[in-house]
Amino acid sequence: MTLKKVNAIEVKNVTKVYRSSNTETRALRNANLTIYDNEFFTLLGPSGCGKTTLLRLIAGFEDITEGSINLFDQEIVNLPPNKRPVNTVFQQYSLFPHLDVYENVAFGLRRLKKDESLTKKRTMEVLELVQMKDYATRKPNQLSGGQQQRVALARALAPEPKVLLLDEPLSALDLKLRQAMRYELKTLQRETGITFVFVTHDQEEALTMSDRIAVINEGEIQQIGEPEQIYESPSNKFVANFIGEANLLSGFCKTNGENGLCELYTGHSINLFVPSHIKQNDKVTIFIRPERIKIVKSSKDKSQLSISEFTYLGNAATIQLKSNEQIINVNLPIEDLKVFKKGDYVDIEFPKGSAQVID
């Protein structure tokens, strides 16, 4: 069964340059992406990479330098923010301090001139949805951070936007609350069916919540894909390093093609796909996740690899293997915790499909 996907947002060749009297900042360079209706889409990248900029361009708070943005096939670049059927959950919540929770949430509906009974119904409905019904008469400064977060969410949801933009909405919360809110946000998105564009610099958040992720670095989109895709086959070193832990091992190519062969500088050979532009004896970087590497006991005369660090984590351990040239990180599963200790000589194996040549 394939459903025809509806394009909620299309970002086409978007470039944004901030100009001030003496400097120019290229916050986005030729960005292209399509966000589908009903999708939980995440913009992920380190701080300063241009995530907020892209969100603000969609909301209409910044003028676009080049390119265009479509919202449900309608060009919106020339619409002011108050004419765009999208709403934003701001990073600092930005609740109106002089209005109580109810009035904050009803704000958008009132501006849209909805009649009083409908406004009341909808406001109470979303307050219920975020479990803040009992706080309707409180002022924002009488709420905790998590509660303000919920009100900000309710306020943005109340006018039933076609797309909800969320700029690092969880970053100001403490860890426990943040984790609980992840789940809630995801559920909320599924229940309401509203397209979420979610900004975060936290890769764990992105992986656990998103339908698809766009990884951004220095204003350029690095990769767009589902969480598994991005985690398991990152398209370049930046993505590999930014998401999860990665070993990037140096070696050279022996044969290329579908059933290629590379040799690491540690002497290990790996069978994997090697793109045809890589020729024999070319230097390659091979990417493999620490948890995919298998280690087995060995001895000093058979292997140059020894455990140089052993970090106990309770339910697992991370170990660092050192050979004369390279460091390899390996995650040790719980059943192997007692088997290995620091200083042991070991050998490693790469299960089929676990490694990948990376640019």
Point out which residues bind another protein (CB under 8 A). 59, 61, 80-82, 86-88, 90, 92, 94-98, 100, 103, 107-108, 111-112, 137, 139, 155-156, 159
Interaction residues for ligand ADP, span 4-43 (CB under 6 A): 18, 25, 27
Please identify, using beta-carbon distances, which residue of 22 and 315 lies nearer to ligand ADP: 22
Rounded to a whole number of angstroms, the minimum distance from the CB of residue 351 to another protein is 49
Q: What is the DSSP-derived secondary structure letter of residue 174?
A: -
d(CA 89, CA 87): 7
92: partner contacted, choices ligand ADP, another protein, Mg ion, none (Cβ within 5-8 A by kind): another protein
47 binds ligand ADP (CB under 6 A): yes
Q: How many CB atoms lie within 10 A of CB 161?
A: 18
Q: How many CB atoms lie within 10 A of CB 342?
A: 12
Give the helix/strand (H/E) hosting 184: helix 175-192
**Which residue among 8, 11, 44, 52 contacts ligand ADP (CB under 6 A)?**
52
50 binds ligand ADP (CB under 6 A): yes
User: How would you label 192-223 residue by residue, b for 16+ Cβ within 10 Å and e otherwise?
Assistant: bebbbbbbbbbbebbbebbbbbbbbbebbbbb
Return the structure tokens found at 8: 């909620």
List, in sequence order, every residue forming a beta bridge with 272; answer none if it has no partner: 260
98: partner contacted, choices another protein, Mg ion, ligand ADP, none (Cβ within 5-8 A by kind): another protein
53: partner contacted, choices ligand ADP, Mg ion, another protein, none (Cβ within 5-8 A by kind): ligand ADP
Distances (CA, A) of 297 to 303, 320, 330: 10, 15, 14
Tell me which amino acid residue 170 is: L
Rounded-to-5 percentages of helix, strand, coil across the chain = 30, 35, 35
Point out which residues bind Mg ion (CB under 5 A). 52
**Which residue among 35, 40, 44, 53 contacts ligand ADP (CB under 6 A)?**
53
Please identify, using beta-carbon distances, which residue of 103 and 291 lies nearer to another protein: 103
Please identify, using beta-carbon distances, which residue of 52 and 195 lies nearer to Mg ion: 52
Please identify, using beta-carbon distances, which residue of 84 and 212 lies nearer to another protein: 84
Q: CA nearest 161: which of 43, 32, 8?
A: 8
Rounded to a whole number of angstroms, the minimum distance from the CB of residue 41 to ligand ADP is 15
Please identify, using beta-carbon distances, which residue of 22 and 117 lies nearer to ligand ADP: 22
d(CA 349, CA 303): 12
50: partner contacted, choices Mg ion, another protein, ligand ADP, none (Cβ within 5-8 A by kind): ligand ADP
Quickly tell me which residue has 């992986």 as its tokens.
207
Rounded to a whole number of angstroms, the minimum distance from the CB of residue 55 to another protein is 11
Asked whether the beta carbons of 329 and 295 are under 8 A apart, the reply is: no
DSSP string computed for 85-105 = SEEEE-TT----TTS-HHHHH
18: partner contacted, choices Mg ion, another protein, ligand ADP, none (Cβ within 5-8 A by kind): ligand ADP
80: partner contacted, choices another protein, ligand ADP, Mg ion, none (Cβ within 5-8 A by kind): another protein
d(CA 351, CA 158): 50
**Which residue among 9, 31, 39, 51 contacts ligand ADP (CB under 6 A)?**
51
Please identify, using beta-carbon distances, which residue of 87 and 195 lies nearer to another protein: 87
**Which residue among 33, 48, 261, 298 contacts ligand ADP (CB under 6 A)?**
48
- Phi, psi (rounded to 5 degrees) for 104: -60, -45
Binding site for ligand ADP (CB under 6 A): 18, 25, 27, 45, 47-53
